[in-house]
A = this chain, B = another copy of it.
């Protein structure tokens, strides 16, 4: 075979290989771990005809389901808290997903008083406060408004918060970082509805309130509300689901998830922020000196290797595809670098998805694991020049009390047995 492993172009320490390789490279070549078994003759069947090929299966259904063999892919919910009914979050199984779109059934959720069962015929959206003409909209009327579609990530600002902890917990990509997902959101530009109500000059903020039992509310500056915020009615083509705010939610591109108020029932135009519970006692960033930052909206420039990742095990030495996701609340991902030696040397990964504005981006780079211990890391750079910081650099500015907006470099250790574990380096 041509292209033996020794001819691969090494681009950084501990086995990282030029990202352009492997498209067209014989993976069955000597010394590579992935082998295809050679068959005896050109047309010989290498196995018995399986049972499922011997008789017709059932026809199509009205609403499809996944294979029973993939049902282990589940969101991970925290333990229920009896004094906080319906509260909590469920995390996307990032280590099992590929591409950049998260299927709706596996999109992360965060609830403050559970999921209300809303009949859209009884739901209203009110726009009031500092407007020329307060308005009330029903669902059917809103469906007739002009809509736009955008693929964007959504991330809870508490995502990855356990990484602020003093000790590295033994988690998975899902349990540590699963409060991020990505979908195509379709909705009405909020500016269309605000223009209809007529924003008065003294209005500088909006207050968005949900119809859940928590009346979850958040304040958003008027400039953002008039810029790219959507009243989202559809997610990946179908109506947003109850867990995502059915029949309607706010979608605030690039900003922390909590602002994307679900079951939206009121937009009030105000002079200043409304200081809701979830922007005072919660979702404010407490620094090392115990001062707190409010209204820390944009999500950071961030990346994460999803394979290999925490609690996986490499079963054999040889060639692996290191892959993961990157995103930034400030724009598009321009570059992802990967290190296989704990940050001593870095190589550019290949971006293997259609890049777009504030969407998950999939990256990969081939890596030859020769055995032994090492640390895998990824580092994202966005088109505004923001570079994902190390954990040490992030903590130096933010301290260790805070639990929001963690976006430091994730380190996965690989030990000689092949086990992969979350570590601090």
Contact = CB atoms under 8 A, between A and B. Distances in A.
Interface of A: 22-28, 33-39, 42-43, 45-47, 50, 52-67, 69-71, 73-77, 80, 85-90, 96-107, 109, 111, 113-120, 122-124, 126-129, 133-137, 141, 144-151, 183-186, 189, 191-192, 195-198, 211-215, 233-234, 236-239, 241-244, 246-247, 265, 319-321, 323, 352-354, 356, 362, 364, 366
A351 to B, nearest CB: 10
Contact of A23 (B27, B106, B146, B243): B146
A52 B295 CA distance: 29
Q: Is the contact region of chain A dominated by helix, strand, or loop, or is it mixed?
A: loop
Given A146-B366, A246-B67, A362-B149, A56 B237 contact: no
Query: 6 shortest A-B CB distances, which residue pairs?
Result: A36-B135, A57-B114, A60-B90, A62-B74, A52-B116, A56-B86
A89 B60 CA distance: 7
A71 B352 CA distance: 35
Given A60-B77, A103-B237, A145-B321, 12 more contacts: A22-B192, A24-B191, A26-B195, A28-B133, A43-B129, A52-B117, A52-B212, A64-B104, A64-B243, A73-B238, A99-B149, A99-B184
Given A98-B233, A118-B50, A37 B149 contact: no
A70 B366 contact: no
A213 B52 CA distance: 7
A116 B57 contact: yes
Contact of A184 (B27, B100, B233): B100
B50 A211 contact: yes
A321 B57 contact: no
A98 B143 CA distance: 10
A268 to B, nearest CB: 8
A56 to B, nearest CB: 4
Contact of A192 (B24, B184, B319): B24
B213 A128 contact: no
Given A144-B320, A238-B70, A124 B47 contact: yes
A53 B23 contact: no
A134 B42 contact: yes
